[in-house]
Amino acid sequence: MMNIADVSSINDAMRMRDIRFGGKNAGKMIEYRLIPLLVCSARIGEELNAAAITRGLGGDVKRTNVCQIGFHIQDYILILVCAVPYLIWILSILK
């Protein structure tokens, strides 16, 4: 997410170049707005990547969990409840 300083800087740069919404420079307005947004997004992605590496999210050590992950009886029941209407619908078509 871009911070307010980035948005303010983009707006200031567009104002200095006299590029406004609805003007004759619509192509430049899109270019001057889109390129900084893409650069900011790429920078934020790089920062998130660095944070993930710092926290060890890409390591070879198996992570631990607080709860047991996997299918339990309630998962199978829910799948069955969801599958029954489709089975009834398919059987009604085949008759």
Neighbours of 49 (CB within 10 A): 12
Locus of tokens 């790429």: 42
Q: Which amino acid is at 33?
A: R
Neighbours of 63 (CB within 10 A): 7
21-75 confidence digits (pLDDT tens) = 666 767 777 777 778 888 888 888 899 888 887 877 666 777 666 777 889 999 9
3-state SS of the chain: helix, strand, coil percent to 5?
A: 65, 0, 35
The residues near 52 (Cβ < 8 Å, ≥ 6 apart) are 58
- Residue 69: the pLDDT is 80
User: How far apart are the C-alpha atoms of 34 and 29, rounded to whole Å?
Assistant: 8
- Residue 27: the pLDDT is 75
8-24 confidence digits (pLDDT tens) = 887 787 778 777 666 67
Q: Give me the sign of the Cα torsion angle 47, 48, 51, 57.
A: negative
The residues near 58 (Cβ < 8 Å, ≥ 6 apart) are 52
Q: What is the mean pLDDT of residues 81-87?
A: 94
Domain ranges of the chain: 4-59+69-94
